[in-house]
């Protein structure tokens, strides 16, 4: 790993995972907000809003906030985010597979994004960077 001002640089694979997580955060947050906007418009016009709309909106916002927290933890070099991201991305992959089975080809995008995050988070250089203790950060920083 390369050293920048006494600190090891984040590996490219982990930067890629954080970038994909950032995109997922934006997408989930946008979907959650849009669901609330559509529900408000339905209420304004006197239509009933299914409870599922609110559940999906809250779940989408919660996933967005959780992924944002995990991305920040990755940048701060904390391996605690890996299991959380793994669980959320596996649910994303299952959701994508279900979408494909039911005939929604756009579900491939979510499936690919989830796969990319898992692939890059568990690469050896990402694991090494995340699991290095603060005492050995200088040692890790000097290894290429």
Is residue 2 in a domain?
Answer: no
Cα dihedral angle (119, 124, 130, 134), rounded to 10 degrees? -170
Give 139's pLDDT tier (boundaries 50, 70, 90): very low
Is residue 110 in a domain?
Answer: yes
The answer to whether the predicted template modeling score (pTM) of the entire model surpasses 0.85 is no
Is residue 3 in a domain?
Answer: no
Give 8's pLDDT tier (boundaries 50, 70, 90): confident
Count CA within 13 A, CB hemisphere, residue 106.
0
Q: Are 85 and 21 in contact (CB under 8 A)?
A: yes
Is residue 77 in a domain?
Answer: yes
Number of domains forming the structure of the chain? 1
Count CA within 13 A, CB hemisphere, residue 70.
28
Instruction: Pick the more confident residue, 1 or 107.
Output: 107
The residue-averaged pLDDT of 124-141 equals 72
Statement: residue 132 has pLDDT above 60: yes
Show the domain range for 74: 12-131
């Amino acid at each position: 790993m390369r050293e920048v001002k006494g600190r090891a640089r984040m590996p490219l694979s982990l930067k890629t995972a954080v970038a994909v997580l950032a995109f997922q955060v934006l997408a989930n947050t946008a979907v959650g907000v849009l669901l609330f906007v559509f529900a408000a418009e339905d209420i304004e016009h006197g239509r009933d809003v299914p409870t599922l709309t609110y559940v999906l909106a809250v779940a989408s916002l919660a996933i967005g906030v959780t992924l944002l927290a995990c991305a920040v933890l990755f940048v701060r070099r904390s391996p605690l985010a890996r299991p959380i991201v793994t669980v959320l991305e596996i649910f994303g992959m299952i959701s994508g597979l279900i979408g494909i089975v039911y005939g929604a080809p756009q579900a491939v995008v979510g499936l690919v994004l989830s796969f990319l995050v898992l692939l890059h988070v568990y690469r050896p250089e990402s694991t090494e960077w995340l699991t290095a203790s603060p005492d050995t950060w200088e040692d890790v920083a000097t290894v290429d």
